[in-house]
A and B are shown apart, each in its own frame.
Chain A
């Protein structure tokens, strides 16, 4: 579906995407994770044919975005990070107008509009102006708009940003439905539970480069082990861990130890280090993410 080799994007002296290579297969949900400024959105924009690449190779449906932008864009649907619905039209009007940009004949556009408004549960808001919609409704309408041309490839840039849990679950469920219907989906997200739940494969990016690639579970096993034991950070605990020669990581007021045998480790720590608080939990993608990209705040 998509293949990129040494893909680069630079603005003057700043390199936003610094030689990334990846490929997305037909029918999978592929995720781009990374802190702000990692180059995720820029990569999306190059795939969408709205930002020309500075170097490397890129092909979408085996076509070059530089040479065949209209052909590629005809077959993809885009959910942008920013809400850019047309405020001069109603919900229905937005979908019909957008369908026209794809040269979809009016009768078919009307049928798709009905189906899609039902799909995102906005049928009763059909004739409502955009400004009267809640944030969640707007995001759902944008998802419907991205599907108006029945795309083979769906690109979503932070699709559930600012949504309440109900709306997030609805969007997740809809994306899974689309996948079973044969769509290929590429998404970026900051929500690691979302990535773990949805993505078949994902890459973790930082500073314009890809740090890791793989299936969510494999990445967790590879970088964070099976489970995490968290103990409160006190001098006693830290000295004790160092004495036992157990590798650990400090996160805020807790100390994290990753392990494949949480039970044994917990017993040892309880007996030897005397922590005041301790908990064990399964390792998550969040542990991998923070380990690879660090805990420093980004803007």
Chain B
């Protein structure tokens, strides 16, 4: 039942477009945070800690963390959009109820929300790419390959978020996945230091349970121009998990809303 392939129609894009319109209308508030965030990370961790660390595996520390900054932005923007953002639209604004009174089905609505979450990841990554390019901490034009992967990764985190949204009893309970899952993941996914530094068990946990690990690994290959065949394994992992979470998220939301 929960793994049945949901029947999503192209009308899902109407929901995506609605969210895009609202985003564009308030573009000043929306564009500022990723811009500032990139600066803060580069300064505090890149320059601050980088003064002592100098380099990791022969790579300047700022360049080492640059892909992690991008990957964390992918995760945060999609995850928070499809937890708190979607919950507000579903529960407080009753937006989903209004939408399913039209030819849109609940499957279309949720798919539109997920596609929107992924789009937001891409937009944040685009802004941050500009800042990081100014500081010359990534290899161009190869680094531009992070853009399509940002969409895929964004879709994965959006679907993961929507699964939590579908079972949460209240908006406050969404703090649990945010602080107990997202925060540790942003620290222990090979973001600011190589996983190899820790006992091997951490590496296994990160590779199996932390989606961010795979996004960071791929991004790092692009921004440092160090492609390896293992990118295939990371992509397969992301593709499969995204597909499963997409199906699960839509069916769980259907179970919550269609009674």
| Chain A contact residues, CB within 8 Å of chain B | 11, 48, 50-52, 69-71, 73-74, 78, 80, 82, 84-89, 97-98, 100-103, 149
CB <8 Å contact, A70 and B98: no
CB <8 Å contact, A51 and B258: yes
CB <8 Å contact, A102 and B259: no
Report the minimal beta-carbon distance from B99 to chain A, rounded to whole angstroms.
6
B residues less than 8 Å from A73 (CB atoms): 101-103
Tell me which of A80, A85, A97 contacts B101 (CB under 8 A).
A80
Excluding A51-B259, A101-B103, 11 further A-B contacts by CB distance (< 8 Å) are A50-B100, A50-B258, A73-B101, A78-B101, A86-B93, A87-B93, A97-B18, A98-B98, A98-B102, A100-B17, A102-B103
A residues less than 8 Å from B18 (CB atoms): 86, 97, 100
Nearest 7 CB-CB pairings of A with B:
A84-B94, A101-B102, A78-B101, A70-B103, A84-B98, A88-B22, A73-B103
CB <8 Å contact, B103 and A80: no
A82 to B92 Cα, complex, angstroms: 12
| Interface flag for B45 (CB, 8 Å) | no
Report the minimal beta-carbon distance from B179 to chain A, rounded to whole angstroms.
28
CB <8 Å contact, B103 and A48: no
Which residue of A has the minimal Cβ distance to B25?
Answer: A88
Q: Kindly supply a per-residue 1/0 record for chain B positions 80-115, scoring 1 wherever the CB is within 8 Å of any chain A CB and 0 otherwise.
A: 000000000000011101111111110000000000
CB <8 Å contact, B258 and A52: yes
CB <8 Å contact, A70 and B97: no
CB <8 Å contact, B14 and A100: yes
Report the minimal beta-carbon distance from B102 to chain A, rounded to whole angstroms.
4
For window 208-259 of chain B, which residues contact chain A by CB distance below 8 Å? Answer: 258-259
CB <8 Å contact, B102 and A84: no
For window 8-27 of chain B, which residues contact chain A by CB distance below 8 Å? Answer: 9, 11, 14, 17-18, 21-22, 25
Which residue of A has the minimal Cβ distance to B18?
Answer: A97
Tell me which of A70, A82, A85, A98 contacts B105 (CB under 8 A).
A70
Tell me which of B9, B11, B21 contacts A97 (CB under 8 A).
B21
> Could you list 6 examples of A-B contacts with CB < 8 Å?
A78-B101, A80-B101, A84-B93, A86-B18, A86-B93, A100-B14
Which residue of B has the minimal Cβ distance to A74?
Answer: B103
B residues less than 8 Å from A88 (CB atoms): 22, 25, 93
B residues less than 8 Å from A82 (CB atoms): 94, 97
Which of B11, B18, B97 lies at the interface centre, i.e. has the most chain A CB atoms within 10 A of its CB? Answer: B18
CB <8 Å contact, A48 and B101: yes
A89 to B89 Cα, complex, angstroms: 13
Which of B17, B18, B21, B103 lies at the interface centre, i.e. has the most chain A CB atoms within 10 A of its CB? Answer: B103
CB <8 Å contact, A50 and B101: yes
CB <8 Å contact, B99 and A101: yes
CB <8 Å contact, B102 and A80: no
Report the minimal beta-carbon distance from B208 to chain A, rounded to whole angstroms.
38
Report the minimal beta-carbon distance from A37 to chain B, rounded to whole angstroms.
16
Q: A51-B259, A70-B9, A88-B22 are in contact. Are A101 and B104 (CB under 8 A)?
A: yes
A71 to B11 Cα, complex, angstroms: 13
Which residue of B has the minimal Cβ distance to A42?
Answer: B259
A residues less than 8 Å from B9 (CB atoms): 70
Q: A50-B100, A50-B258 are in contact. Are A101 and B11 (CB under 8 A)?
A: yes
A70 to B14 Cα, complex, angstroms: 14
A73 to B105 Cα, complex, angstroms: 10
A106 to B98 Cα, complex, angstroms: 20
A71 to B105 Cα, complex, angstroms: 11
Q: A70-B105, A101-B103 are in contact. Are A86 and B14 (CB under 8 A)?
A: no
For window 101-142 of chain B, which residues contact chain A by CB distance below 8 Å? Answer: 101-105
Report the minimal beta-carbon distance from A63 to chain B, rounded to whole angstroms.
13
CB <8 Å contact, A84 and B11: no
CB <8 Å contact, B102 and A102: yes
Report the minimal beta-carbon distance from B9 to chain A, rounded to whole angstroms.
7
A70 to B9 Cα, complex, angstroms: 10
Report the minimal beta-carbon distance from B98 to chain A, rounded to whole angstroms.
4
Which residue of A has the minimal Cβ distance to B95?
Answer: A86
Which residue of B has the minimal Cβ distance to A93?
Answer: B21
Which residue of A has the minimal Cβ distance to B103?
Answer: A70
Which of B17, B94, B98 lies at the interface centre, i.e. has the most chain A CB atoms within 10 A of its CB? Answer: B98
Which residue of B has the minimal Cβ distance to A155?
Answer: B101
CB <8 Å contact, B97 and A84: yes
